[in-house]
Amino acid sequence: MAAAGAPTLLKPGGQRARTNHHQPRRLRRPTPRVSCCSTASLAATKSFMTRTHPPPPPPPPAPSPHRTRNGAEILVEALERRGVRDVFAYPGGATLEIHQALTRSRLIRTHLLRHEQGEAFAASGYARSSPPSPTARPGVCVATSGPGATNLVTALADAHLDSVPLVAITGQVPRHMIGTDAFQETPIVDLTRAITKHSYLVLDVTDIPRVINEAFFLATSGRPGPVLVDIPKDVTQQTAVPSWDTPMRLPGYVSRLPKPPSTDLLDQVIRLVGDARRPVLYVGGGCSASSDELRRFVDLTGIPVTTTLTGIGNFPSDDPLSLRMLGMHSTVYANYAVDNADLLLALGVRFDDRVTSKAEAFASRAKIVHVDIDPAEIGKNKQPHVSICADVKLSLHAINAMLQQQQHKINLDFGAWRSELDQKKSEFPLSYKTFGESIPPQCSTRFTNGEVIIATGVGQHQMWATQYYTFKRPRQWVSSAGLGAMGFGLPAAAGGAVANPGATVVDIDGDGSFTMNIQELAMIRVENLPVKVMVLNNQHLGMVVQWVDRFYKANRAHTYLGDPRKESEIYPDFVTIARGFGIPAARVTKKSEVRDAIEEMIATPGPYLLDIVVPYQEHVVPMIPVYGAFKDIILDGDGRTSY
Ligand SMILES: Cc1ncc(C[n+]2csc(CCOP(=O)(O)OP(=O)(O)O)c2C)c(N)n1
Ligand SMILES: [Mg+2]
């Protein structure tokens, strides 16, 4: 029996080192757990299936566990046994057997995206937005060998940086052809090693049940992340009697999973809170399963909260103690709070450079407590005074219990600090200018009902969505943060709609980002998903224009997306394109039309595209320049001014 290939790891500095394949590189946070689909979604999908396929054959009798079957069938049953109910996939020669087996699954619905990057972003949107339940629900995608597999790479890197649990299954050329530069051969395990939590090459059919169990365990345990499983075509054809109880072989990984937090360290944190006068909570994506515990901690202490881009929704953004997001394009008051804090409680965060800018100047007056499940994050970018390498949920739960017990001893009063921050909120509210009947892009993000799930592309529209939308709960925000991958919005919204039957998903997109995966209009139409694409169409790569305006004397370099011969016209015509895909669509150009148009978009059943034409001169402010500090914050200005 052959095992997965021994992975190599590219060390900082470019040197390659062999690693034990039982020891994935980073220990990661536990995943939020999610529920099975509701009857409503199954009904919706059945009606879709009857419209697009012949009626499914009657279900085969339940297979005997001892029946011989091929590798593809074993794989599909292994996925079913892990609770997988949705797979995002695009077929090809090396995955023909897998797709054949998928058609026979009575439990798994296969969603056909129109590009492998789209399918992997859809799997990511599915995982990011899945509601918690006892069953983990990472996103699962399947792609063929060669170009199918390489098309997954951006989405794997995105999931790696944002700690999203994904299991990506790729077909590979038959074993005897590996290494011969065979048709559609790419060494995808090597290619993805640095951007996955672990990558497997399955060389024996009998390994499939164990490898799939391990892949799901790795993707969802510790700090979540993507795992790739590469299966040669002949292994999917090979037959075997599967053994479902082969134990996982991850002793190194399991032994390094963090232990419960020590009472001594938690005591230290409580003492620091008791001594603080100006504490701030800095909350990241690592808190997405801990929002109840966070709420309780805030109720007990009255400490104000700011979140990272992936932490959005973990604390309601309209709560009086919310400072909204911190970092480069965030509120003045969040950045002021961190700059003036004497205690920073950093929970499930990684001190990313878009948050800290100049790391030495970040929170320079504060004692820092860092709680994170991944030991690699502790002290990586900023040295904490107290570090707890543990699950944030367990840590907060324990701290809350201790605080409750000691309530009579601790006298917390941060009233003066909160008043100071309230003063900053009224002094520096988020605001924008209006210009006649032009549509301010910022206002468009405000109108949509605060209950919908928001997906985005990458650029100015993404930052305005963070600034102006009211987020009420975790997993309501689906956005490519660490990688900042344009093209993410539409397919991720589709995945979000699959994971949340009945929920409306609004993709607030930019014209540039939307164009990158525009083909997925087909998937949302064919599956009749309630995905509303709201394009903030400035005919430009707006965020790049903003940087060029500010830092390159407005020498516009390849940022115009319209047709230079007809600058007065909107190009391309997204409304006609949407209609070509069978999706109702409208365009608005005046401020007075926006509210009604958005209401119509939300009220129209199924998918919809609203093309909102906005000026390209707008800049996202506030802005802390790269390598700047809070004192360098830019408060206003736009592309109508020279710098
Ligand atoms: C795949 C990819 N390529 C390039 C970039 C660099 N980039 C960041 S924002 C941006 C402009 C995005 O334009 P658009 O989607 O229209 O959004 P806008 O800023 O205009 O709102 C670019 C090119 C990126 N983030 N991702
Ligand atoms: Mg744009």
CB-based contacts of 65, cutoff 8 Å, min separation 6: 242, 244
User: Which residue's CA is the nearest one to ligand 1's atom 5?
Assistant: 486
Average the pLDDT over 277-285 and give the result.
98
Residue scoring higher pLDDT (386 or 409): 386
Quick one: which atom of ligand 1 is closest to the CA of 515? 15
Q: pLDDT tens digit string along 551-571?
A: 999 999 999 999 999 999 999
Best of 442, 467, 486, 571 for a ligand 1 pocket test (most atoms within 8 Å of beta carbon): 486
Give residue 55's pLDDT: 46
CA of 544, nearest ligand number: 1
Alpha carbon separation from 267 to 270, 280, 293, 616 (Å, rounded): 5, 18, 17, 52
Average the pLDDT over 314-328 and give the result.
97
Over pLDDT 70: what percentage of the chain? 88
Give residue 170's pLDDT: 99
Q: Which two tokens stand for residue 341?
A: 């804090």
Full-model pTM? 0.90
- How many Å separate Cα 62 from the centre of its chain? 36
Best of 461, 541, 612 for a ligand 1 pocket test (most atoms within 8 Å of beta carbon): 541
> In order of start, what are the domains of the chain with their CATH numbers?
34-256 (3.40.50.970), 263-427 (3.40.50.1220), 441-621 (3.40.50.970)
Give residue 627's pLDDT: 87
Q: pLDDT tens digit string along 82-94?
A: 999 999 999 999 9
Q: Is the CB of 544 under 6 A from ligand 1?
A: yes
Give residue 451's pLDDT: 85
Confidence of residue 410 (pLDDT cuts 50, 70, 90): confident
- Give the number of other CB atoms < 10 A from CB of residue 15: 8
How would DSSP label each residue in 7-59?
A: PEEE-TTS-EEE--TTS-S---PPPPEEPPPPHHHHHHHHHHHHHHSPPPPPP
Out of 41-55, 231-245, 456-470, least confident range: 41-55
Q: Is the CB of 518 under 6 A from ligand 1?
A: no
Distance, in Å, from the CA atom of 323 to the CA atom of 38, rounded to the nearest integer, reads 35
CB 486 within 8 Å of CB 457: yes
Out of 5-19, 126-140, 569-583, least confident range: 5-19
- Give the number of other CB atoms < 10 A from CB of residue 493: 33
Residue scoring higher pLDDT (222 or 51): 222
Give residue 564's pLDDT: 95
Q: Is the CB of 546 under 6 A from ligand 1?
A: no
Residue type at 7? P
Residue 184 annotated among the catalytic residues of the structure? yes
Q: Which of 313, 326, 332, 383 is nearest to 356 (CA)?
A: 326
Residue 233 annotated among the catalytic residues of the structure? yes
Q: How far is the CA of 371 from the centre of ligand 1 (A)?
A: 32
Q: How far is the CA of 171 from the centre of ligand 2 (A)?
A: 36
Confidence of residue 131 (pLDDT cuts 50, 70, 90): confident
Give residue 58's pLDDT: 53
Distance, in Å, from the CA atom of 23 to the CA atom of 434, rounded to the nearest integer, reads 55
CA of 542, nearest ligand number: 1
Residue 437 annotated among the catalytic residues of the structure? no
Give residue 33's pLDDT: 28
Q: pLDDT tens digit string along 287-316?
A: 999 999 999 999 999 999 999 999 999 999
Give residue 444's pLDDT: 79
Q: pLDDT tens digit string along 54-83?
A: 444 455 555 667 789 999 999 999 999 999
Q: Which two tokens stand for residue 437?
A: 């009947």
DSSP 634: B
Residue 45 has pLDDT above 70, yes or no: no
DSSP 206: G
Query: Which residues partner with 345 through β-bridges?
Result: 281, 369
Give residue 60's pLDDT: 53
Q: Which of 482, 472, 479 is nearest to 454 (CA)?
A: 479
Q: Average per-residue pLDDT in the chain?
A: 89
Q: Is the CB of 486 under 6 A from ligand 1?
A: yes
Per the residue annotation, which of 184, 268, 519, 617 is the catalytic one?
184
Give residue 305's pLDDT: 98
Residue scoring higher pLDDT (28 or 570): 570
Residue 414 annotated among the catalytic residues of the structure? no
Beta strands in 479-593 (DSSP E): 505-510, 531-537, 585-588
Q: Is the CB of 541 under 6 A from ligand 1?
A: yes
Q: How far is the CA of 539 from the centre of ligand 2 (A)?
A: 5
